[in-house]
Amino acid sequence: MDKRTRVLNALNKQPVDHVPVGMWYHFSGEDARGEACVQAHLRYYRDTDLDFLKVMSDSYTYPISGIEKAQDWWNLQPLGADHPFIREQVWRAKRIVEEIGKERCVFYNIFAPFSCIRQGTSDELVMAHVRENPQAVLHALDVIAGDLALLCQLLITEAGCDGVYFCVQGAEKNRFTLDEYRRFVAPSDLYVLEHANRFSDNNILHCCGWAGEANNIVLWKDYPVKCVNWAVYVEQLNITEGRFFYGDKAVLGGFETLHLNEEMTEYKGLLYSGTKEEIQAYTKELILFNGKRGLLLGGDCTIASFTDHERVRWVVEAAREV
């Protein structure tokens, strides 16, 4: 069974010869943009022999400027299809698909609109403005959702990606009530996802535990995706429990990979500290305990950028022995 068939079968809960593996990390410096970024992704793929590749979007923060007062969000206007934020990402994804897209699936990382406004300003400013002038912030979320929906469409139809890996954030239990999240954040999440679903059936939801704090994951359980990836160790929800919770969708994860500090220099988890024997034994246990149906192995989130590629390959090799 080739890699593309293996991954598409796993996403659709069909039989596979081996459980597919996919992990990723943040690229920085010269490796974050342009052709150098393309080659960094390809090196990582070839070093690890992963079953699918998620293209990172590290250096492409949604462009936001001039936001000081809450009312300033009303000034945000759509970027449009020709803006460099969209064109450069589509170009880069297309280059990667041209190189390896026939042999394996390629997904592209998309941050949800609420993440974009926080990344483009600050968490503190956004939360203050949500309380002060929610309608202005909602306008901004709608504008960004439109641009991200267009980006998803072009990534799939023009660049040739098999789908998007959609990262949702902001549901920490101390941030919003359930009703507030459903009012302020969920509509923009769903706008992007539902548009992406018009062009691909194989989109993946990442329920991000970036802050190391448990989320109200019930807010995301019914989002319309083929596969769900969540922070198993942050949410204290293992793969078996998560399958039931998310409605028997395909699941991606199993490895603890979240960072411990804001500088992203300290990580914990067997992938970093274990021996080859320990990592491969854990990989096989995950598969034997959870079965092969609808399972893809990966991390709670990004792995550390300093991780030796050989450690990821150990996981890949072990999965192909079961």
Predicted local confidence at residue 167, as pLDDT: 97
26 Rama sector, left if φ>0, alpha if ψ -120 to 50, beta otherwise: beta
| Residue 222 token pair | 């019914």
> Residue 262: which pLDDT band, with cuts at 50, 70 and 90?
low
Tell me the per-residue pLDDT of 212-222, one tens digit each, with 9 for 90 and over: 789 999 999 99
Res. 264: pLDDT tops 70: no
Q: Which is more confident, 266 or 163? A: 163
127 Rama sector, left if φ>0, alpha if ψ -120 to 50, beta otherwise: alpha
Res. 311: pLDDT tops 70: yes
| Residue 107 token pair | 């997904």
The residue ranges of every structural domain in the chain are 3-319
| CA dihedral angle for residue 130, residue 134, residue 138, residue 140, rounded to 10 degrees | -60
Return the ∠ at Cα 217 (arms to 211 and 19), rounded to 5°: 90
The third-level CATH classification (topology) of the domain covering 3-319 is TIM Barrel (3.20.20)
Res. 117: pLDDT tops 90: yes
| Residue 203 token pair | 């989109």
| Rg, Å, the chain Cα set | 19
Q: Under 8 Å CB-to-CB from 144, ≥6 apart: which residues?
A: 62, 76, 113, 116, 117, 188
Res. 211: pLDDT tops 80: no
Written in H, E and C, the secondary structure of the chain is: CCHHHHHHHHHCCCCCCCCCECCCECCCHHHHCHHHHHHHHHHHHHHHCCCEEEECCCCCCCCCCCCCCHHHHHHCCCCCCCCHHHHHHHHHHHHHHHHHCCCCEEEEEEECHHHHHHHHCCHHHHHHHHHHCHHHHHHHHHHHHHHHHHHHHHHHHCCCCCEEEEEECCCECCCCCHHHHHHHCHHHHHHHHHHHHCCCCCCEEEECCCCCCCECHHHCCCCCCCEEEECHHHHCCCHHHHHHHCCCCEEEEEECCCECCCCCCCECCHHHHCCHHHHHHHHHHHHHHHCCCCEEEEECCCECCCCCHHHHHHHHHHHCCC
Predicted local confidence at residue 191, as pLDDT: 98
Amino acid letter for position 52: F
Cβ–Cβ under 8 Å, residues 309 and 44 = yes
Question: Residue length, the chain?
Answer: 322
Phi, psi at residue 147, to the nearest 5°? -65, -40
pTM (predicted TM-score): 0.95
Report how far residue 159's alpha carbon sits from residue 122's, in angstroms, rounded to the nearest whole number. Answer: 31
| Residue 4 token pair | 């593309």
Tell me the per-residue pLDDT of 17-63, one tens digit each, with 9 for 90 and over: 999 999 999 888 888 889 999 999 999 999 999 999 999 987 789 99
Cβ–Cβ under 8 Å, residues 198 and 139 = no
Q: What's the chain's average pLDDT?
A: 94
